[in-house]
Amino acid sequence: MTLVQGMLLKNVLLIDPSRQLEYQGDLRVQGNTIVEEGKSLSSQSNEDLIDGTGMWVVPGLIDMHTHMRDLGQRDKEDLHSGTKAAAAGGFTTVIAMANTEPPLDGGAIFAMYLQRIRERAVVDVLPVACVTKGMRGEELTNMVELSEAGAIAFSDDGVTIQNMAVLRRALEYVQLTGKLIISHAEDQDMVEGGVINEGFVSTRMGLPGRPAAAEAIAVARELELVRMTNSPYHFTHLSTARAVELIRQAKRDGLPVTADATPHHLSLSTDAIVEFDTHLKMNPPLRDEQDKQAIIAGLIDGTIDAIATDHAPHTRLDKSGMFAECPVGIIGLETAFAISSKALLNKLGRLKFFALFTINPARILDLPEPSLQRNSPASFAVIDPERIWTYDPLEGFSRSRNTPYAREQFKGKVVMTVHKGNRVYEDSAFKERRERVGTHEG
């Protein structure tokens, strides 16, 4: 991580969803701020000149759903390795879920987590706090205290609050904070120990299934509570066609609901699950092809507002257990852009596509909108849209390697990430090119 004293990015495509603006131009950074943008800026002596011909520059991406672990699970990930992985994916802000070990359900542990963030993180980490103590779905946490301490939102992600009276109280009480609740919506009784989507694949492999209806049922009843309380509510990692349809209708009805989906749910379906590969076990599970298509359609028509990774690191040992018994989830920060762009970039166009990673999550979470405008923080990602590359998790920054995308070839790669003026990630080939050209011109 090096502080950029001064930097001039020349001949890049500036893509700024906050202004619905994209144009070929230059961007000048001094210290931690974007000081100038425009066409044909002239180079100054005290700055690095980077020829960015063919590159895109986008405001730093936001990931609304990550598991940064740390605390008692540093063997899976810590706030340094996790944020390094985020930086490699072009993210300068990540939302960290509260199901840490122990969970972030009280002022003391929350303060300790914030301290770890200050000491270890290389990009912004905004932690979520639990809705209920111990995520047991019974008693509310001190939401106001946690909000004042800096909780960005509240969520018992990983489990669903099963008792609707408890969730109702949470939705009422959270109004004192002005924050929103993020829901992992899946009826726990219906799930009954299921490990993959219930369907032909679970039948064939003899695995207990999680029915798609479990998600739709939870979404439907939670929407009724939103209707009742009018509290802002966010559904994370939608995976089924029915849930998308319910949320589409709720938005039409004017309910304050938003939603995100993961890169894996828009790129893989149950058909991908072969031979008990534990890297294809996630929660919610991969669903059928028609569900996958519904997620994509939801992202295109705006029913789903954002893409979030649900980055869920687990050690090799965790994932080498038996399929039915091992923990759920995959890492996703370093591949999020590449996977999502393959499925969506052509359909959405650049501005709408990057909105899913920038202004949309910012609006949902009430954060300043990432922008490339003059005087904005110098937080942005440089992307080489033509770069063909093969993903190797062994070369990644996450402490864990649990991904089904190992050895997958992608087009388009984040090659440099700058966070508040700090170069927090740089692709080696890009660095080589920058230094060669820089020396030549300097």
Partner 1 sequence: MKAPSLATTKWRNEAQLTENATILEDLIAEKCDQDEFTPRIAQVKGKIMSEQTVTAEASASRLEAFTRAFNRGRQHWRTRQHLLDTDDLTPGELASITDVATEAKKILKAGDAPLSVLHTRTIATAFYENSTRTRSSFELAARRLGATLLNLDVASSSVVKGETIIDTSKTLLSMGVQALIQRHSASGSARQMARELGDRLHLINAGDGWNAHPTQALLDYFTMSEVRGSLNGAKIAIVGDLKHSRVARSNIRLLTRCGAMVHTAGPPTLTPIDLGKMGVIVHSKVEPAIENADFVMVLRIQLERQKQGLIPSIGEYRRLYRIDSARMRLAKPEARVLHPGPMNRDVEISDELAECSEKSLITTQVTNGVAVRMAVLYLLLGE
Give residues in contact with partner 1 (CB under 8 A). 198-200, 202-209, 275-276, 278, 317, 320-325
Q: How far apart are CA 166 and CA 130, in angstroms?
A: 13
382: Cβ contacts below 8 Å, ≥ 6 apart: 9, 12, 52, 55, 56, 57, 414, 415, 416, 417, 418, 430
Q: Is 187 a catalytic residue?
A: no
Q: How far is CA 164 from CA 161, 167, 187, 212, 318, in A?
A: 7, 5, 11, 20, 33
For residue 197, the minimal CB distance to partner 1 (Å) is: 10
Q: Indicate the DSSP class of residue 339.
A: H
Assess whether the previous peptide bond of 404 is cis (omega < 30° from 0): no
Q: How far apart are CA 331 and CA 319, in angstroms?
A: 12
Instruction: Report strand pairing: 380-390 vs 56-59.
Output: antiparallel
Q: How far apart are CA 90 and CA 411, in angstroms?
A: 15
For residue 325, the minimal CB distance to partner 1 (Å) is: 6
Pick 204 or 440: Cβ nearer partner 1: 204
SS3 content of the chain, % helix, strand, coil (to 5): 35, 25, 40
For residue 153, the minimal CB distance to partner 1 (Å) is: 35
For residue 198, the minimal CB distance to partner 1 (Å) is: 6
Tokens of 190: 């219906």
Angle at 315 between CA 311 and CA 318, to 5 degrees: 105
Pick 53 or 203: Cβ nearer partner 1: 203
Selecting among 26, 63, 288, 310, the annotated active-site residue is: 310
State the residue for tokens 């937080």: 379
Q: How far is CA 191 from the centre of its chain?
A: 25
Is residue 118 a contact partner of residue 176, using CB atoms and an 8 Å limit? no
Q: Which residues are catalytic?
A: 310
